[in-house]
Amino acid sequence: MTGRADRDEIEPEISLHTLAALAGQYPGQDLVAAITALICLRYVAGENEPLADGTGDVITALRDQASIIDPNDRLCLSEIRAIPDSAGWLAGLVDELIEAAWDCGKAFEKVMAARNRFRVGSLFSNAVSPALAQLIAEVSGARELARRTDSIIITDPVTGVGDLLTAVADQLGPDHEPMFTGAEADPALARLVRRRLTVHRVPAEDMDIRVGADLPDETGDPDVIVTQIPYRPRGPGSRLGLGPGGGRRGASHHGSFRGSARSFSGAGR
């Protein structure tokens, strides 16, 4: 096969390969946080405007932009601030990925599809394949319920990286505006889920992803629950531990490159 179809597959892959290769030099969690924060920033600021706009001090400009767009630091401000001054090249690489993927949502999902390349266990240890996530979204009844009522709440009590909430958001599309809620023990993952839902066109007022084990009370009881039951093998010959106490991931260490000019450090809100 030749032509546009080949380029649609090859060009994003080349950009993604370049970004993923950086995981050999820098902590993967910080790298993914920076990449996804830049994708989210470009989406919110105006998807058609590049991050690397030719200004001399790209990182300072991006920090200023993030402070305006995300003043309460719920999405990407900390991650953008953590990118060192010397790493303006990263914005250009992210621009290339977005252009090759055609939009910010697709670029974000390219990163998530290649999450194992970044060598971050928390990103792929409980990953749900796109096909399975789509199937779960279809059988959840969310689409049918959204057709019957103007307001529904969709919840994942152990959100992880948001594979299932994202699948439901994609299935419902722009014709419906449900409320997405969730809880995630790892602050870095909770922030990633907010960014992921944002680039999938879920407004900030229509999501409430909490850090911890408790779901938000203010939004009310969920109409639809999509989740992956966390578990942990307790040893040879033992039963599988299910439920909130059965091996749910805890808060992860937010590493940084000590002594490196290109260090990235995670956020914790």
pLDDT tens for 127-173 read 899 999 999 999 999 999 999 988 899 999 999 999 999 999 999 98
Q: How far is it, in rounded angstroms, from Cα 84 to Cα 75?
A: 18
Question: Please, are residues 61 and 55 in contact by the beta-carbon 8 Å criterion?
Answer: yes
- Of 69-73, 177-181, 217-221, the poorest mean pLDDT is in 217-221
Provide the sign of the torsion angle of the four alpha carbons 35, 41, 43, 48, taken in this order: negative
Which pLDDT score is estimated for 169? 96
Which pLDDT score is estimated for 257? 29
Which pLDDT score is estimated for 4? 52
| pLDDT for 263 beyond 80 | no
Question: Would you give the distance in Å from CA 266 to the centre of its chain?
Answer: 14
Architecture per CATH, 130-233+238-242: 3-Layer(aba) Sandwich (3.40)
| Amino acid, res. 123 | L
Which pLDDT score is estimated for 81? 96
> What's the whole-number mean pLDDT along residues 35-47?
96
Which pLDDT score is estimated for 108? 97
Q: How far is it, in rounded angstroms, from Cα 43 to Cα 20?
A: 21
> What's the whole-number mean pLDDT along residues 52-72?
92
